Amino acid sequence: TEIAMTAMFLFIIMGSTDKRAPAGLAPLAIGFTLALIHMISIPVTNTSVNPARSTGPALLEGGIALDQLWLFWLAPIIGAVIGALVYNFVSKE
């Protein structure tokens, strides 16, 4: 879930900030996408889509949260790479 949602998020960010995108709509597209990602993923993995946001609570909680922290760092990085590659493939001029 983390990989797929981060890939989708990066795809939307890249598309909405592309020079060919309508001006001024990027904040809405990015904000609504982030809200949708959280509504979908929080029940599944308590998603964060942001490794830095996952680190603070894991450090405070300790235990199993620290054991799972690697996933909340690795998955968004992989998802971001996938999202960027897909966007570059789909958006070729």
**Which tokens is 63 given?**
């235990």
pLDDT cut 70: percent of the chain above it: 100
Q: How many domains does the chain have?
A: 1
The predicted pLDDT at position 65 comes to 87
Q: Which domain holds residue 74?
A: 2-90
Query: How many residues does this entry show for the chain?
Result: 93
Full-prediction pTM beyond 0.85?
yes
List pLDDT tens digits, range 13-49.
999 999 999 989 999 999 999 999 999 998 998 888 8
> Do the Cβ atoms of 89 and 19 come closer than 8 Å?
no
Identify the CATH number of the domain in which residue 32 sits. 1.20.1080.10
- Determine the average pLDDT of the residues in 50-68: 90
